[in-house]
Amino acid sequence: MTRMSTVYSELETIVGSNYISDAQHVRWTYSRDVGIVPGHPPGVVIQPQSTNEIQDILCLANTHKIPVYVRGAGACYAGGVVPVKGGILLDLTRMNKLLHLDKNSDSCLTECCITCGALMNELETQGYKLPVIPDSALTGTVGGFLATSGIGTWGSALYGSISDITLGLTAVLPNGEMVVTGSAGVNPYAKGQFARYPGMPDLTGLFIGSDGTLGVITEVALRVVPLPESTVYRAYEFKTHQAAERALVRGKRKGLHLVSVAFSTSFHDPPRLNVIIEASEKIANIEAEIFDEIAQEEEGEDLGPEVAQRTFEDTLNPGEQFLLGSRVMNGGFVPLVGIGDYLDWLKRECLQITEKYGFPSRFSAFNVMNSWDATLKFFFDESDPNEIQKARKANEELQARFFESGALPTKRGQIWNKYVSQSRSFELFKAIKRCLDPNNIMSPGVHGVGL
């Protein structure tokens, strides 16, 4: 009798028979994400609906030393939800509610698996919005956004990543204990979650980007912002990536409210810079005029606001993202200044991938405060096993070159294990993992730990 068959009935008691399955077709449904990390089925899939149920599940798994993997929508591509050691797969999608909107602190408290799109809709009915919106907003969950330390084409230029708008969270540790971080975790009399750093180390940040390796995030407190009075779009075409870079850096250093900034690039057309400015109507119009002057001084050609608006809206269109087939995304964070030269390099890498492997490819970048997320995508036929093998080989080559270029991984999961495990901070991370998870039940293999 396996450990899984021993605990199945106990797990069933926790969530009920309708929310647990070890059927083969169910297990294989949860065997992978949207990336190219090879799939592996869990031993059982379970759908808890509360923090208390998750506490009971982890306590049981820890006692029997059974691996546990955590999954929201599975919309990531880095392998963070692939259960390479089998075990228990926690599907958290039943925990999908907005719990509270606090207009005294401009914050909201949500369950971990409300989708970003659903949260956006609920907030907008009350006059608020999420400052940062991921490209996977229609299906991606808040918990997944947090567990991968996500960023977004919409909002990251001004507000940064999901980490920068997180005020606190509730998490269940591998031994089943619950922790609350942020203001609500420091003072039980605190009026909600309104401060992330209340007189102690940043425990919230410990779980952000951890991909389920340190525990299970069940509730999240996020900053929200009032809906803008005015939104202005700008799209300019430049002769070079360097000219576009100069325009953007000048605009940011003047303090313009550049909420979103993205490069649109191709092999043949001149580079294009798409910008969103959000502020009061008066300020937005003044800042748009200032940006227009800067762009024209850098010999940019005004393409009209409709071009920029369509470009940003297309990032939220799943059909648009997969028109050329299944995709591999590779890239990383690079500094604010120097993106022009980096995009020239990325263009050459794109051409090499297309010429060597025959894959259609694209490259792009969007601004994240004082850095850029520079990305290369290539597309392949997932129904062809040979194409999958070629895609994995091409991805390995690209990762080596990205890492040597000094780029920092924007997503970790399993795809960057080989490289980040060489970092000086990795030993500290492993030590923290051993302290919190001595039985190594949480997501073994993810982030290169626990195998």
Q: Which of 223, 273, 224, 219 is nearest to 52 (CA)?
A: 219
Residues 37 and 56 in one domain: yes
Domain co-membership, 299 together with 358: no
Q: Is the pLDDT of residue 27 over 90?
A: yes
- Asked if 301 and 364 sit in the same domain, the reply is no
Are residue 32 and residue 102 in the same domain, yes or no? no
Residue indicated by tokens 């084409």: 153
What does pLDDT average to over the chain?
Answer: 91
Cβ atoms 35, 78 nearer than 8 A? yes
| Residues 151/166, Cβ–Cβ less than 8 Å | no
Q: What is the pLDDT of residues 96-145, one digit of tens each?
A: 999 999 999 999 999 999 999 999 999 999 999 999 988 777 888 999 99
User: For position 199, what pLDDT does the model report?
Assistant: 80
Q: How does strand 128-129 pair with strand 68-71?
A: unpaired
Residue 282 sits in the same domain as residue 379: no
Within a domain: 376? yes
Do residues 371 and 325 make contact, with C-beta atoms less than 8 angstroms apart?
no
Let me know if residue 168 belongs to a domain: yes
The pLDDT assigned to 1 comes to 44
Helix (H) or strand (E) run with residue 190 in it = none
Q: Answer yes or no: do 266 and 288 share one domain.
A: yes
Q: Which residue has the tokens 């907003």?
A: 137
Please tell me the distance from the alpha carbon of residue 377 to that of residue 234, in angstroms, as a whole number: 25
Tell me how long the chain is: 451
pLDDT in tens, 163-212: 999 999 999 999 999 999 999 999 989 988 999 988 889 999 999 999 99
C-alpha dihedral sign at 67, 93, 187, 201 = positive
User: What's the burial of 435, exposed, middle or buried (CB within 10 Å: 0-12/13-18/19+)?
Assistant: exposed
Question: What interhelical angle do 3-15 and 51-64 show, nearest 10?
Answer: 160
Q: Is residue 444 part of a domain?
A: yes
Q: How far is CA 173 from the centre of its chain?
A: 22
Measured CA to CA, the distance from residue 152 to residue 140 in angstroms comes to 12
CATH number, domain of 408, equals 3.40.462.10
- Residue ending a domain, among 173, 194, 226, is 226
Residue 410 pLDDT class (50, 70, 90 cuts)? confident
Of the three residues 205, 226, 247, the one that is the final residue of a domain is 226
Cβ neighbour number for residue 261 with a 10 Å cutoff: 24
Q: Please provide residue 377's backbone torsions phi and psi, each rounded to the nearest 5 degrees.
A: -120, 140
d(CA 153, CA 330): 16
Number of domain units in the chain: 4
* 103 shares its domain with 221: yes
pLDDT for the residue 37: 86
- For 285, the domain range is 230-314
Are 218 and 282 in a shared domain?
A: no
pLDDT for position 242: 97
Query: Does the residue 430 lie in any domain?
Result: no
Cα–Cα distance, 213 to 227 (Å, whole number): 35
Give the CA count within 13 Å in the CB-facing half-sphere of 440. 12
DSSP string, 398-434: HHHHHHHTT-B-S--TTTTHHHHTTSTTHHHHHHHHH
Answer yes or no: is 425 within a domain: no
Please check whether residues 442 and 374 belong to one and the same domain.
no
Distance of CA 119 to the CA centre of its chain: 16
Q: Which residue has the higher pLDDT, 429 or 34?
A: 429
CATH number for the domain spanning 276: value is 3.30.70.3450
- Whether the pLDDT of residue 7 is over 80: the answer is yes
Q: Note whether 240 and 207 are same-domain residues.
A: no
The model's pLDDT over 143-157, given as tens digits with 9 standing for 90+, comes to: 999 998 888 888 999
Position of tokens 């020239």? 344
Quick check: 118 and 72 in contact, CB under 8 A? no
d(CA 272, CA 266): 9
- H/E stretch holding 14 reads helix 3-15
* Sheet strands (E) in 242-325: 258-264, 272-279, 301-302
Tokens of 159: 């507000």
pLDDT digits (tens, 9 = 90+) for 210-247: 999 999 999 999 999 999 999 999 999 999 999 999 99
Last residue in a domain, options 177, 201, 226: 226
Termini Cα distance of the chain: 23
CATH number, domain with residue 22: 3.30.43.10
In eight-state DSSP terms, residue 371 is E
Please state, in angstroms and as integers, the Cα–Cα distance from residue 415 to each residue in 76, 95, 419, 423, following that order.
11, 28, 9, 15
SS3 248: helix
Same domain, 85 and 73: yes
Asked if pLDDT for residue 330 goes beyond 50, the answer is: yes
Give the amino acid at 408. L
202 occurs within a structural domain: yes
Q: pLDDT tens, 265-316?
A: 878 889 999 999 999 999 999 999 999 999 999 999 999 999 999 888 887 7
Residue 239 lies in a domain: yes
237 in the same domain as 259: yes
Helix and strand numbers, DSSP H then E, in the chain: 16, 18
Please, which residues have CB within 8 angstroms of residue 154's CB and are 6 or more apart in sequence?
132, 133, 137, 259, 260, 276, 312, 315, 316
Q: Tell me whether residue 429 is in a domain.
A: no
Q: In the numeric block, which tokens belong to residue 406?
A: 């000094």
**305 CB burial (10 A radius; 0-12, 13-18, 19+):** middle
